[in-house]
Amino acid sequence: MTIDVETTLRDTRYRLKKLGEGIENLVKSYSDVFNDLEIASQLHTIH
């Protein structure tokens, strides 16, 4: 059984790219949530 190195590398690069995008989206979601919380706490402080 031979392993096609080219295909394996391409698959790995694709997975890493997808993983990177997932992490990027996750970080963006978290920062959006924290921004919302910060705005909410500022509004709460004003009233």
Kindly list the domain boundaries of the chain, sorted by start residue: 5-44
CA distances (Å), 35 to each of 23, 25, 27, 32, in order?
A: 18, 15, 12, 5
Residue 19 is predicted with a pLDDT of 97
Half-sphere exposure of 34 (CA within 13 A, CB side): 6
Residue 11 CB coordination number (10 Å): 11
The string of pLDDT tens digits covering residues 19-47 is 999 999 999 999 999 999 999 999 888 66
- Enter the pTM of the model: 0.61
What is the Cα–Cα distance from 21 to 31, expressed in whole angstroms?
Answer: 15
